[in-house]
Amino acid sequence: MPDDLGLDADARAFYLAVVAAGGWVMADDLCAQDAPVLARLLELGLVRGLPGGTFYSAVSPRAFAGRAGGELRERSARLLRQAEEVPAALDELAQAYDAAPRRIERTGVVETVQDRDTIRHRIAQLVADTTTEMLTAQPGGNRPADHLVWAMEQDVPFLKGGGVMRTLYQPVARVDPATIEYAVTVAPYGARIRVLDEDFQRMLIFDRSVAVIPASADMGSAAFIEDPTAVEVLVELFERDWRRAERVQWGSAHAVPDAGAVEARVGLLLAGGLSQRAIAGRLGLSERTVAGHIARLREEHEAETLFQLGWLMRGRTDGRR
């Protein structure tokens, strides 16, 4: 028989099985009979689906309890008793979550994780456990569309519950349809998203207590940092970049330049003496994409070499001053 939360014996057993397996389960490992139970846990928010639908991750019952309590208190005095009983109803699950073996053993205040699937799972857990603030710096801005859809599903409830979220992108994000849709969706709930036209450190910071940064150039590994001093340094770095970043009225007619603006920006950086690789890093694009823009600029300006194109572009920008 289900309790007031809708957690029946099958739902609890499924959750405990996921926790016992390390906190996450592959979609391919589930059978058809699991679908109704999984649907209930997803609806409740005790399980989250990761981008692409290939993994499902258990959410901390204590984090869920805080959010559920806040929502229940907003409804009416009639539901106040239920809100107060949420932590007790989830006590068994919370104890199992805390006692469960983790697939990564902590060796210190900085953990380096090599496996991409494990990285995504760990970040999903951090997002679910965050109660106050998320700071994200995402150079480039062209994040996969399915990642942004998943982000909207977990960011909107976080913001509605009173959470603070600030995000930094580079200007190329202003011409990415998926990023624009994401920004337009979360901005009304209080999310603040700015763009910064320079290189900056990719990072995620949760409640100013845990930070995640790349541990390799190919983004194949990540460092999870819990050292207070190191996290504070990263927060200060984010705040410095945030103060220099440009505000954007997402969704307005002036928020999105035409697609040619990216190519024009490539030309300006080329005129400034940056290499193809440096331009790719600055704009958050692949070197192949930058090479395509450069090829079109060479054709437009009838430049035979990259040096000649840079010279011509430099003269063009000087003439505008």
Q: Is the pTM of this model over 0.75?
A: no
pLDDT at 192: 92
In the chain, the percentage of residues whose pLDDT exceeds 70 is: 79
Among all chains, which residue has been given the structure tokens 């600029």? Answer: 297
Given a cut of 80, whether residue 86 has pLDDT beyond it is: no
> Contact 262/283 with Cβ under 8 angstroms?
yes
Q: Which is more confident, 73 or 31?
A: 31
Residue 95 CB contacts under 8 Å (≥ 6 apart), including other chains: none
For all residues of the chain together, what is the average pLDDT?
79
pLDDT at 73: 57
Residue 251 burial (CB count, 10 A): 14
pLDDT at 161: 83
pLDDT at 321: 41
Tokens coding 215: 């541990």
Average pLDDT over residues 132-154: 79
Average pLDDT over residues 136-141: 80
pLDDT at 49: 83
Average pLDDT over residues 233-241: 94
Q: Which is more confident, 88 or 140?
A: 88
Confidence of residue 82 (pLDDT cuts 50, 70, 90): low
Give start and end residues of each alpha helix (H) in the chain. 9-20, 35-44, 61-75, 80-89, 91-99, 116-129, 145-160, 177-186, 228-244, 260-271, 276-283, 287-301, 306-320
Average pLDDT over residues 85-114: 72
Eight-state DSSP code of residue 19: H
Per-residue b or e along 118-154, where b marks 16 or more CB atoms closer than 10 Å to that residue's CB: ebbbbbbbbbbbbeebbbbbbbbbbbeeeebebbbeb
Confidence of residue 170 (pLDDT cuts 50, 70, 90): confident
257-298 per-position pLDDT tens digit: 444 566 777 777 777 777 878 777 666 667 787 888 888 888
Given a cut of 50, whether residue 123 has pLDDT beyond it is: yes
